[in-house]
A and B are shown apart, each in its own frame.
Chain A
Amino acid sequence: MARRDLLKLSPLLLAAAFAVPSWRAKLFGAGMEFNDWISAAIFRREHLARTYSDADLVPLDRFYVNTYDLDDPGIDLDHWTLTVQGDVKHPGEYTLVQIQSLSRQRQNTKHVCVEGWDSIGRFGGARLADFLQMVGANPRARFLYMECADDYYESLDMATALHPQSLLCYEMYDQPLERVHGAPVRLSLPTKLGYKSAKYLQLLRVTDVMPKKGYWEDQGYDWYAGI
C-alpha cells in the first residue's frame, strides 16, 4: 500500500485502534498525559483564582458534601496529628495547634467539581506553602502524597502545593471544620478540581515518587486536574 493510502486510511486506523481495549488504554494514557502536560504548562504560580464577596457565598448548609464512602471516618479530634514524612528536614507528628500557629488565611473561593457544578465557599487555614516551610520540605521535590482517615489518598504537584491560595484548611465559614467537610484538616485548592482537595488528612509525604496517584485518578480521572 502506498504511503498516501495509509495516510488516507489513518482516521479509520485511529478509530480501529480505539476499538481494541488494550490499545485504547494506552492511547488514553497518552491522551491524559498530554492533558497533564498542557495543564502544568499553563499553570501560573502567581495567578490567583478569583475571590468572591461574602454575598456570593453558598450558605454552609447548602455546600454540597461529596461523599465517597463515609461521611465521617470517626477521627478522635482531640488526639489527631498529621504525620509528615519523606523529603523533609523535620519529619514527625504535627498537631492542629502547630498548624494553627501559622498565619491564618481566609478566602472566598470557588470549589469546582469535575461533575460540572461549583460552589463558592469560605475556607480558612494555613498556607500549605507555610506548613511545608515549617517542616523543612525540599521545595525541589516533585510531589506531595497524602493519605486520609477514610482510605482516600491523593497526590499533588509541588508547584500547586506552593501556590499562595493552596490551604491546609481547618475552617469553613470561620468555624472549625465540620466532620462532614473533613475535620479536622483538609486541603482547599482553588486551582484544582474538587477531588484533589482531600479531606480527613492523616499523612503527608514529600516525595519524588508517588506510590499511587489518587483514589479517583487510579480509576481514570485526570491526575493533574488543574483548572
Chain B
Amino acid sequence: MNTKVEAVARPYLPARILRWQQEKTGRSRAAAYEHPLAVRYCHWLNTISLVILAASGLQIFMAFPSFGPKIPQRDFLHVPSFLALGGWLGGALQWHLTFAWVYIATGIFYVGYQFAGGNYRQVLLVRCDLGGIWPMAKYYFFRGRKPNAVEPYNPLQKLAYTSAILIGVLSVWTGLAIYKPVQLSVLAWPLGGFHLARVWHFAALCLFAAFVMGHLTMVALHGWSNLVSMFTGWKRDPEYLPEESPTESFERNSAEIAEGVVAASPQENPKENSREDLDQPSYSGRGRREKSTPSDIE
C-alpha cells in the first residue's frame, strides 16, 4: 500500500489532456497525448531497423555459427534461412552496416529528445517505481488485484522500456566492439575480449527477441487504442485519468476527435469561430501546456 502512495505522489502525466462529454450518451471522455511525434517517429523507424538488423545479423552469424575456435568448428545453432536477410554474408553485411547507423542515429536522437524535453519521466524506471513492479507482475499472472493506474506507464512497463533502452546500448556497444576490435579495443576489454563481445552481441539479440515478444503480447492484450496511440500520439480514455466532470464542458463525439477537428484553430476553420469559447479543451497535468494543433491529433 505504501509503495502505491509513493507512486501516486509524483505522477508524470502527459502535457496535453483533452476531456469532453459524449453527445449521445453523456459519458465523460478523455484523451491524453502520450507519445510526441519524435517518440512515435523513433519508435517506428527503430522497428524497421531492428527487424533488419536482427535478420541480417542472423545471416552474418550463419557464416560462422559458433562462439568457439575455427578449427575444430562446433556450430552453436542452425539458423533457418527464412529468418535471415541478405542472401549471403556480403549482402547481409550491407544491410547490417547500413542500418546500424540508422539505428544508432535514432537511438541518440531519441535519448537526447527524451532528456531535453523531460519526457523521459514517462518511461524511465526510478527508485519509487521499484515497489510497484511485483504487484503488477503478480496481476499479470492472475495472482493479485490490478494496481491502480496513476501514470501512462505502470512500473512493470517502465522496467520493460528502460530495459529495452539498455539492451539497445548493449547492442551498439558490443556491435562496435566486434566491428573495430583493433581501433576500439577498449570497448571489448570490459566485455572480456573479442570472442565474448560476439557472445554479448548475440545475447542482446536474444534479449530484444524476449522484449519484443512480451511487448507484442501486451499490445495484443491491451487493445486497439493502445496501438493507435503509437500512430496518433493520443490515447483514448486512459485508465490513469480518473473520471471528472470537465471544468469547461464542451460537446464532442468520438468521431470528431479521430478526424482531428477538436482543436482545429479558428483561423483554419472559420465556422468554428462562433464556438471558440467552447472549443478550448481543458488541460491538466504537470507538463508544458501547449495548445494542440490539428496535426497532433489526426
A118 within 8 A of B: yes
- Determine the distance from Cα of A49 to Cα of B182 in the docked complex, in whole angstroms: 5
Closest chain A residue to B88, Cβ basis? A220
User: Is B148 part of the binding interface, using a Cβ–Cβ cutoff of 8 Å?
Assistant: no
Asked if A2 is an interface residue, CB under 8 A from chain B, the answer is yes
> What residues of B have a CB within 8 angstroms of the CB of A219 in the complex?
90
User: Is A82 engaged at the interface, CB distance under 8 Å to the other chain?
Assistant: no
A58 in contact with B98 (CB, 8 Å):
no
- Tell yes or no: A216 within 8 A of B by CB: yes
Given the complex of chains A and B, what is the CA–CA distance between A63 and B69 in angstroms?
A: 10
| Total CB contacts across the A-B interface at under 8 A | 103
Interface size class of A (residues with CB under 8 A): 35 or more
In the bound complex, residues from chain B placing their C-beta under 8 Å from that of A32 are 94, 97-98
Do the beta carbons of B183 and A43 come within 8 Å of each other?
yes
> Which residues of chain B have C-beta atoms less than 8 A from A222's C-beta?
93, 97
CB-CB < 8 A to A102: which residues of B? none
B113 sits at the interface (CB 8 A): no
CB–CB A117/B69 < 8 A: yes
In the complex, are the beta carbons of B183 and A226 less than 8 A apart? yes
Task: Indicate if the CB atoms of A28 and B98 lie closer than 8 Å.
Answer: yes
Chain A residues near B185 (CB, 8 Å)?
50
* Interface: B111 (CB within 8 A): no
Contact with B along A19-36 (1 / 0, CB 8 A): 000000001101110110
Check: B194 CB closer than 8 A to any chain A CB: yes
Decide: A226 near B180, CB < 8 A? Known: A32-B94, A114-B89, A116-B63.
yes
Residues on B with beta carbons closer than 8 Å to the beta carbon of A28 = 94-95, 98
* Chain A, range 1-16, C-beta contacts under 8 Å to B: 2, 4-5, 7-8, 10-11, 14-15
Given A42-B183, A221-B90, A222-B97: A117 in contact with B64 (beta carbons within 8 A)? yes
Find out whether the CB atom of B295 lies under 8 angstroms from the CB atom of A2.
yes
Partner of B180, one of A10, A42, A50: A42
The residue on B at minimum CB distance from A217 is B90
B: interface residue count bin:
35 or more
A59 to chain B, nearest CB (A): 9
A116 to B70, CA, bound (A): 9
* Complex: A222 Cα to B96 Cα, angstroms: 12
Q: Would A11 and B44 count as touching, CB distance under 8 A?
A: yes
Q: Report if B181 contacts A (CB, 8 A).
A: yes
B116 within 8 A of A: no
The chain A residue sitting closest to B60, CB to CB, is A116
Contacts A115-B89, A190-B182, A226-B180; A31 near B98 (Cβ below 8 A): yes
Interface residues of A (CB under 8 A from B): 2, 4-5, 7-8, 10-11, 14-15, 27-28, 30-32, 34-35, 39, 42-44, 47, 49-50, 58, 62-64, 110, 112-119, 190-191, 216, 219-222, 226-227
Q: Which residues from chain B sit less than 8 Å from chain A, CB to CB? A: 37, 40-41, 44-45, 48, 60-61, 63-64, 66, 69-71, 73, 88-91, 93-95, 97-99, 101-102, 178-185, 194-195, 198, 295
10 A-B pairs with CB atoms under 8 Å apart are A10-B45, A14-B102, A31-B99, A34-B98, A58-B71, A63-B71, A64-B70, A113-B64, A115-B64, A116-B64
